Chain A
Amino acid sequence: MRRAWPNAAVIGQVTRGVILGLLLTVAILEMAEVVGDVRLFRYQDF
């Protein structure tokens, strides 16, 4: 009996979109950190 699979191509496209979206988000945040010269002050930064 043939099992009905969900549209695997769509799942692949969604997976691709999510991965690319997360990578894009990380890239935007990294750029914002560099462009904005964002610094994290640690305890010993006197």
Chain B
Amino acid sequence: MSSFKTALANFRRGLTSPSMTSTVLALAIPLVLVATAILIGDRLIRGGHYEYLMSDPFDVYAKVGHEVMEFQASDRPGAVLLGDSLMVYCVDEDLLPDIVKETSGVAEIEAHLLATPNQSTYEMAAIVDAADLSPGSVVLVGLSLGVVSKQTGSEPESILVKILKNPRLPFQSAVLDEEARLAGVKPPFRTGIYAFDNAGFYIARKTVFVKHLLAGPAPYGDPLTAPWLSHVDTPEFHAQERAALSDLVEAYSANADKNFDVLARMIERERDSRGVDFVIAQAPINPGWYDLAEGAAFFQKFAADAEAFAQRVGARYVSVSAGQNWSREDFFDYEGHLKSPAARSVCTETVASAAARELRTPS
């Protein structure tokens, strides 16, 4: 017993007194963790345990980042759907692969929804570049007002400046850096070490990562259960959206051309270097806009511009809303997030089959 008491006293002394051992260990631990992060690299987000990095069940950026990096290893042609949250709500991912396989007639085909909330044209270019698609693949670009109205260029409010400073996706892209230089923005210094170049993505998720290590990961949730939807599916919010139409028009007029140019460069680059084809899809439009004279005029112009852009880049154009019997009640909000399962099913069928028809067997 006295030897135990002695040992306890010695332990307490070792615990509370400074020593070379504890100092070296204390300095070594962060270095070892940095070295581990460098060695692990992108394996965590690329592999099957990416859910440990999900900040919440609707962390689409982590999910899409994982799918892009997983897709890199595939040499099969595939169909990739891009866009912002309107496309996330348009496409039912459970239905997507089967529709693409059925329409294309190719069993060994991959289909991925790589839309993310607030996705920018720059991120579309980065996603497509990072996915390293095989020849014969097709990319369907879901065009919504949100995608083409974002401010570009070198101003602090530019989406390009924001995503260079705070990347939302867990990978870098030489294409994004080149777009930055074209816009007169200096991209951040790239070390070439994955852990350093993408540190922000992981640091933002450090607390939730530890939580997941202890309690298990959170799988990706159903977008239809996202908590924010109850805030936008109200008459008051809809009235605010209608009242802000002139702001939408102004943002579109100021920024659409430059965003279309970013997309045009992406399409030309991918066609030339990888043999990838493109489809331009008009994302769902809430028919409630057509009750407003200015709304009807503006959205008709937007549709015409999107179709003209498709002709400019030599891509097939499809309007998801055209010919549909949708009502305002099929949407959560005027921005265009689909609500009803029937409407989502139709939307999925429309975009998936449009993409699948462009798939071709590489020669």
Our verdict on whether A and B bind, yes or no, reads: yes
* Contact assessment for A21 and B25 in the assembled complex, using a CB-CB cutoff below 8 Å: yes
For the complex, what is the distance from the CA of A21 to the CA of B33, rounded to whole Å? 10
* Contact assessment for B58 and A43 in the assembled complex, using a CB-CB cutoff below 8 Å: yes
- Among candidates A13, A22, A43, residue contacting B21 with C-beta atoms closer than 8 Å: A13
* Contact assessment for B10 and A8 in the assembled complex, using a CB-CB cutoff below 8 Å: yes
- Knowing A5-B4, A17-B21, A17-B22 touch, does A39 contact B166 (C-beta < 8 A)? yes
Interface contacts (Cβ under 8 Å), in number, total 126
Majority secondary structure, A binding face: helix
In the complex, B96 has a CB within 8 A of chain A: no
**Contact flags A19-42 to B (C-beta < 8 A → 1, else 0):** 011101100110011001111111
- Knowing A9-B14, A36-B200, A41-B61 touch, does A29 contact B206 (C-beta < 8 A)? yes
Q: Return B356 CB to nearest CB of chain A, in Å.
A: 28
- Contacts of A33 on B, CB cut-off 8 Å? 203-204, 206
* Contact assessment for B11 and A12 in the assembled complex, using a CB-CB cutoff below 8 Å: yes
Majority secondary structure, B binding face: helix
* Contact assessment for A5 and B117 in the assembled complex, using a CB-CB cutoff below 8 Å: no
- Contacts of B12 on A, CB cut-off 8 Å? 12
In the complex, B226 has a CB within 8 A of chain A: yes
For the complex, what is the distance from the CA of A7 to the CA of B13, rounded to whole Å? 12
* Contact assessment for B204 and A38 in the assembled complex, using a CB-CB cutoff below 8 Å: yes
For the complex, what is the distance from the CA of A17 to the CA of B117, rounded to whole Å? 43
* Contact assessment for A9 and B11 in the assembled complex, using a CB-CB cutoff below 8 Å: yes
- Knowing A8-B7, A41-B168 touch, does A32 contact B26 (C-beta < 8 A)? no
- Point out residues on B near A: beta carbons under 8 Å: 3-4, 6-8, 10-16, 19, 21-30, 33, 55-56, 58-61, 85, 117-118, 146, 165-166, 168, 199-200, 203-206, 226, 228, 335
Cross-chain pairs A/B with CB under 8 angstroms, 22 sampled = A8-B7, A9-B13, A12-B13, A12-B16, A13-B15, A13-B19, A13-B22, A16-B14, A16-B22, A17-B22, A20-B25, A21-B26, A21-B28, A22-B29, A24-B27, A32-B199, A36-B203, A39-B166, A41-B61, A41-B117, A42-B58, A43-B228
- Point out residues on A near B: beta carbons under 8 Å: 2-3, 5, 7-18, 20-22, 24-25, 28-29, 32-33, 36-46
